[in-house]
Every structure is written in structure tokens, then in C-alpha cells.
Amino acid sequence: MREKLVKDKVMAYVVRSGRLLVFRHTDFSFEQVGIQVPAGSVRDGEAPEDAVLREAREETGLSEFTVVRKLGEADYDISPYRFEIQHRHFFQLALAQDTPDRWASQEDHDGQQEPTRFECFWIPLEAAHILQSGQGALLGRLCD
């Protein structure tokens, strides 16, 4: 049996007027990647609070995020996609800028690979059970 790496990840729940900010990859089908929240890896030496703000900015193209609170942590086994345990830090973020209902964005990856294209949009919080790969695990804590 393969040894699984443990990687620190962050998840951003950006909520406004009862709606959650999500995105889809425009180059892949829903069956391949689903609907996601802004999320990503914690870099070496980076605090999770800084990582979640960076990831939200990179994936949405927006800049005016602030951390409202940390909701908690949870582990997620992403196998067989990758033999990896993701130790996830979940945050509620606020956004202090207006957005359209839908917009295009892309993550440039510091020029290290081709950009990843996204369509960002808002869904009712009650519909957030559709999030892929356990990303909705701590949505219930938004009501605390």
C-alpha cells in the first residue's frame, strides 16, 4: 500500500447576502472537477490565514477579501485522484467589493504553467451541498 503525503490546504467560504462564492473550471467538465470554492495549498512558511487570502485573490481575480474567522480544520483523503491526505483549514471570508453575478477569471501560476481558467459565480448557501471533494464539510459552522 502506498504511503500518503499530508499537505496543508485552505478553503475559503465567501458569503454575501445568503450566497456562496464558487467557481468552475471552464476547460473541464463538471463531471471531472465539479463546483469548488476558492482553495489551495499553504506554501512553506506561510500562515493559513495568508494562504486563504492569496488563493481567493488568485482564483477570483478580486482583491478586497478579509478573514472573518477560522471555522475549523478537517482531513480529507483525496485518493485515488492523488495519494494524499489534505489537512484543510476552513475560513469564512468577507468581500468588500461589488461583483457581477458571473465573471471570468484565471490563475496564472506565477508563469510556471498554462493559466487555469475559471467562471466565478454565486450560489444560494442552501445549494452548497453540491461542492466537490468534501469542500462543503464545514459549511454548517457558518450558522454558529
Note whether 38 and 15 are within 8 A (CB): no
Contacting residues for 13 by C-beta, under 8 A, at least 6 apart: 20, 37, 71, 90, 91, 92, 93, 138, 139, 142
Note whether 132 and 30 are within 8 A (CB): no
* Residue 81 pLDDT: 81
Half-sphere exposure of 62 (CA within 13 A, CB side): 27
The residues that bridge with 69 in the sheet, in sequence order, are 92
Full set of structural domains in the chain with CATH: 5-143 (3.90.79.10)
* Residue 74 pLDDT: 97
Strand, coil or helix: what is 130? helix
pLDDT digits over 51-93, tens only?
999 999 999 999 999 999 999 999 999 988 889 999 999 999 9
What is the pTM (predicted TM-score) of this model?
0.93
Strand, coil or helix: what is 115? coil
Residue segments in the chain with a per-residue pLDDT below the cut of 50: none
Q: Report the candidate in 124, 108, 87 with the shortest Cα–Cα distance to residue 11.
A: 87
* Residue 109 pLDDT: 78
